[in-house]
Amino acid sequence: MFEVQGPQARDWSQEKGKETSCTLLSSFARTATGIADLDSGETIWQLNWVLPSEPSPGENMKNKDGTRFWFPLTIRDISGPIVLYITEQAALKLVDVADAKEFEQLRSENRLRFPVVASVKVWRKPAKTSAAQPDQSDGGNSADANEFDSFIVDATQQDTDLPPTLLSTKVLTLQKDSVDNVLPARLDMIRKSEHYAMAIEYTTQIVPQELTKVASKTNPGMSMTRPCAKGLALVSVSTRSKTFPAGENGHKLITKEVVDYLSPSGRAQKKYTLVSFCTLDTVTDFKLDPPPRAKSQAALITFTRVMESNDDSAEQPVTTLLVDAVQQIDPSKAQALQSVLSKMIYFAALAGQISRKRDQEHWTPEESPAKTSKCRILGRSPTGPELPDYDLSF
């Protein structure tokens, strides 16, 4: 007896994707570019170190006939945001559940959690000329509205052992940045901003030889401030978080005596306060209590705003941060993540030093997103030389 099998689903984990960024992909995700390597057929793209935004509780997450999950997902990186629909297979993998039934149950119980940082793979293909399979069109629009459809077909939590490489810097020469972005930083680099949510003050770094012709700021050691919507940092917590009531069914979680994990040892470390607003269902997601018999707890956090504090002064302009996501880090991995995040900060500083003139210059067959290198697996940038650590010694 032989089992009759239907057509096999495409295994996207085996497909290599060209490395890109959110704003770079958004510039051609739905439109033709005139570049044959981009427009002659389907292409696959990979975005690493992106922050997914969880859909709102009342948002419809099913396709039109309600047979499977299919919903828009906002992701951000150092360049800015993009909104892409995500397939059910990718969504289940992203939140690490066994099947759609478990996904639905966790969502109904308000226990569905997206990772703080993710890696996604995007399929870009020519749009259909008919209205067949409308739920496969991008963003829920009719297929005729776009020349191309782009949606997330594979996704997972970012492997925090894998930073960008020197080959990743090719993306910086092609993208245009948005202030609706997320920037990695040490806590002492955060600054208040009159016009934006906050800003990160970087020190310009040594530019790789390959990028000196496209860098507008090549002298290392200069102050450079970049506005942002979110920040990403690695912290160490030695005290328990305290919970306070905040409105109906709400809680305010305050964690004091927080230090930056990347702060140089051997000198007094500046202390910060982290504030989060949550419900009874999500309060444990934000707690940073050190485990039993441990002196501290490391965590990767994202923060959205500088909060006013009685400790604020000219010497200490930022002491309190509003945190919107927390990922506790195992002590065995915290030390390795310290080096990775230092490379991420270098990468973000370098992005601010690259001169982008894409409003005036069009892509060419020799200089376009098609020339970026391919990633072998989710989370891993193209294999190449390591980026240097962020350097403050200039």
Q: How confident is the model at residue 68 (pLDDT cuts 50, 70, 90)?
A: very high
Predicted local confidence at residue 137, as pLDDT: 42
Q: How confident is the model at residue 89 (pLDDT cuts 50, 70, 90)?
A: very high
Instruction: Say whether both 227 and 117 belong to one domain.
Output: no
Structural domain contains residue 388: no
Is the distance from CB of 182 to CB of 76 less than 8 angstroms?
yes
Instruction: Say whether both 254 and 301 belong to one domain.
Output: yes
Domain extent for 85: 12-164+357-375
Closest CA to 357 of 177, 137, 106: 177
Structural domain contains residue 7: no
Structural domain contains residue 173: no
Structural domain contains residue 141: yes
- The DSSP code for 16 is -
Instruction: Say whether both 129 and 212 belong to one domain.
Output: no
359 pLDDT above the threshold of 60: no
Overall domain count for the chain: 2
Instruction: Say whether both 116 and 218 belong to one domain.
Output: no
Q: How confident is the model at residue 386 (pLDDT cuts 50, 70, 90)?
A: very high
Query: pTM score, two decimals?
Result: 0.90
Is the distance from CB of 196 to CB of 228 less than 8 angstroms?
yes
Instruction: Say whether both 228 and 301 belong to one domain.
Output: yes
Is the distance from CB of 369 to CB of 38 less than 8 angstroms?
yes
Distance of CA 70 to the CA centre of its chain: 21
**CATH number of the domain encompassing residue 191:** 2.40.50.140
Structural domain contains residue 184: yes
Instruction: Say whether both 142 and 192 belong to one domain.
Output: no
Instruction: Say whether both 155 and 273 belong to one domain.
Output: no
Predicted local confidence at residue 310, as pLDDT: 52
Structural domain contains residue 6: no
Instruction: Say whether both 209 and 278 belong to one domain.
Output: yes
Instruction: Say whether both 142 and 200 belong to one domain.
Output: no
The string of pLDDT tens digits covering residues 296-342 is 999 999 999 998 655 444 444 578 999 999 999 998 899 899 999 99
Structural domain contains residue 227: yes
Is the distance from CB of 183 to CB of 226 less than 8 angstroms?
yes
The string of pLDDT tens digits covering residues 226-242 is 999 999 999 999 999 99
Instruction: Say whether both 197 and 160 belong to one domain.
Output: no
Please name every residue paired with 62 in a beta bridge, in sequence order, or none if there are none: 69
Alpha helices (runs of H) in the chain, residue ranges in sequence order: 22-26, 36-39, 88-94, 100-108, 169-172, 283-286, 331-353
Instruction: Say whether both 343 and 370 belong to one domain.
Output: no
Residues with Cβ within 8 Å of residue 34, at least 6 apart in sequence: 362, 363
Instruction: Say whether both 132 and 191 belong to one domain.
Output: no
**CATH number of the domain encompassing residue 130:** 2.40.50
Predicted local confidence at residue 266, as pLDDT: 54
Burial of 25 (0-12, 13-18, 19+ CB in 10 A): buried
Round to whole Å and give the CA distance between 70 and 85.
7
Structural domain contains residue 2: no
